[in-house]
Amino acid sequence: MKPLWSAWTRWLDREVDPRPLALVRIALPLCVLADLARLAQLGLLWDVFTPYAEGGLNRIESPHAVVWEWFGPNGPWVAFSTTVLCMALIMIGRWMRPAIVVGVLAYAQLGHVFPPGDRAIDRLIRTALLILLFSGADGAFAWGRKRLASVPAWPEHFLRLFLVLVYTSAGIAKLIQQPEWFSLTADPPLLRILIDPMASTLDPDFWAQFPVLFRVLGIATILLEVSSILLLTRWGPLWAIGGVLMHLGIWASMSLGMFSPGMLALYPVVLAPVLGRTLFRPAPSRRLG
Amino acid sequence: MKTLRATLVPLAAFALIWLAMPGASFVPKGYLSTPQARAAHQQRWGEPWTSLNVSAGILQRIREPIIAPIRGIQPVFRVAQSWHLYRDGPRPIRRMEVWVDTALVYRTGDPEYDWREGVFRNRRIRPMAESLVVRKKARNRLGIGRLIVQLATQDFPDASRVEIRSVWARRGKTPAVHHSMTATGPDWALEDSP
């Protein structure tokens, strides 16, 4: 038992270049900030974060929206300002840990205030930020800090495990609920998803002429999702090329806001071995850190 | 510190896997828990499917009591999610239309009628527009309806009537109005179609 325990602690002691984790630390809050900025640009902040009784959009109340009790009608604005401030701090790498705790709590409150607009990607970003809380993600590209030579590797593995769970769940759910994903004759489900005008930007009349294309892409999507366990192996970067292509395809064909950029924000840890050999070589000067 | 980390990291990984176990949300709590249900499954599907499904049911009954207390913490961070993402798309082609008096100003996905498209396409508003189009009595229809009327009266100050239509069509067929809401000035109260 002792050799096993020693091997386990040695594995946990392994260290990696902090830059892939730092890129995730920068990209995730950037997505949140860009998303909230877009909401402000459209002039929708008031409509989204005001109760229905006072002229807002949402009638679905979450019992966990405690900001109303704590700060009254200003609650959502306190949550909004706190989220923006904390995301900015996480991004620049200052007071990262307290900023993640407070920022995730405030961001969660924004979700409770307006549940219809709080989607899977918001939950994914919050979960990923909570994983970063225990990482050395502020060991590089952090304002006023020198870059560390290395940080513990386990948060990188944890983020990869999280991605595996997300993709595998998505793949299995598709197969359980809709066997037509593997049918060679039925109407391809991917075609239905990608020509639904409410979520997609593709012209239904034009693209419906190519069912075979969507059948092949649909099968490729399922195979990619259920094979995501490869992310935990040395084949991870290779798998990630498929993942990147899938998310770029979704980004180009659907109007899902920050879904694709939010998912891609986690990819630096998947592509860490490739980044280590290419982008991060030769080692940058200290000024970068 | 090393021992603590070596204990806590696998515990956290176990909690993550246990909470987000792929496919678990499709297994009902009492799935194949009675001999009768197992026998019926065995007769229909045989092996190894029956053993696999019985195991999934047993695993779910072990899993549920363990995740119950962890689930209590999830709303604080609002991280609970099934991760099903997109499983299927709708068979009919459904769109939202906004008519101001007798003029069509917005139709989902139509570049010719793109009034305030950025608003209706925004990822936080789109789910509300979608449920308005799918369900006649969508719970949030009055909220988004009120926003549409407010924006329309702002952009078309001479308007006297705003209609929000849910238009459905089978692929390649002529679309028809499935349901609608109308607001008429000066009070602009929204009314559902009969």
Quick check: A198 and B130 in contact, CB under 8 A?
yes
What pLDDT score does A281 carry?
A: 62
What are the structure tokens assigned to A178, written together?
Answer: 């809709």
- Count the alpha carbons within 13 Å of A288 in the hemisphere toward its beta carbon: 13
Q: Is the pLDDT of residue A287 over 80?
A: no
Give the separation between CA A287 and CA A147, rounded to whole angstroms. Answer: 9
What are the structure tokens assigned to A186, written together?
Answer: 């039925």
What are the structure tokens assigned to A237, written together?
Answer: 């970067």
Quick check: A134 and A156 in contact, CB under 8 A?
no
Residue A152's DSSP bridge partners are A15
pLDDT in tens, chain B (194 residues): 788 888 999 898 888 888 888 888 888 888 888 888 888 888 888 888 888 888 888 888 888 888 888 888 889 999 888 777 778 889 999 999 999 999 999 999 999 999 999 999 999 999 999 999 999 999 889 999 999 999 999 999 999 999 999 999 998 899 999 999 999 989 999 999 88
In chain A, residues with a C-beta closer than 8 Å to the C-beta of B126 are: 198-199, 255, 257
Q: Do A108 and B76 touch (CB under 8 A)?
A: yes
Cβ–Cβ pairs < 8 A, chains A and B: 198
Residue with tokens 């630096």: A268
Of B9, B90, B140, the CB nearest to A58: B140
Q: Do A197 and B13 touch (CB under 8 A)?
A: no
Best mutation target among B9, B124, B140 (most A Cβ atoms within 10 Å) is B124
Length of chain A measured in residues: 289
Query: How far away is chain B from the Cα of A9, in angstroms, using its nearest Cα?
Result: 6
CB atoms within 10 A of CB A119: 21
What are the structure tokens assigned to B18, written together?
Answer: 């246990």
Rg (CA), chain A: 21
Q: What is the average per-residue pLDDT within A9-32?
A: 93
Amino acid at site A196: D
Of A32-41, A102-111, B10-19, B93-102, the least confident: B10-19
Give the separation between CA B145 and CA B189, rounded to whole angstroms. Answer: 10
For A179-241, the DSSP string reads GGGG-SSSPPHHHHHHT-TTTB-S-HHHHTT-HHHHHHHHHHHHHHHHTGGGGGSTTHHHHHH
Q: Is the pLDDT of residue A131 over 50?
A: yes
In chain A, residues with a C-beta closer than 8 Å to the C-beta of B21 are: 165
Buried b (16+ CB within 10 A) or exposed e, A72-85: eeebbeebbebbbe
pLDDT band at A94 (very low <50, low <70, confident <90, very high): very high
Mean pLDDT (chain A) is 92
Q: Do B16 and A12 touch (CB under 8 A)?
A: no
Of B6, B25, B144, the CB nearest to A8: B6
Say whether the peptide bond before residue A152 is cis (omega within 30 degrees of 0): no
Give the separation between CA A166 and CA A15, rounded to whole angstroms. Answer: 25
pLDDT tens by residue, A243-263 = 999 999 999 999 999 999 999
Q: Do A193 and B121 touch (CB under 8 A)?
A: no
What pLDDT score does A289 carry?
A: 39
Q: What chain B residue is nearest to A254 in terms of C-alpha separation? A: B121
Which of the 8 DSSP states describes residue B146?
Answer: H
Of B2, B88, B143, the CB nearest to A58: B143
Of B82, B122, B127, the CB nearest to A38: B122
Q: What chain B residue is nearest to A131 in terms of C-alpha separation? A: B12
Q: What chain B residue is nearest to A7 in terms of C-alpha separation? A: B6
Q: Do B124 and A189 touch (CB under 8 A)?
A: no
Of A39, A191, A193, the CB nearest to B124: A39
Amino acid at site A77: W
Model pTM score: 0.92
Q: Do B84 and A64 touch (CB under 8 A)?
A: no
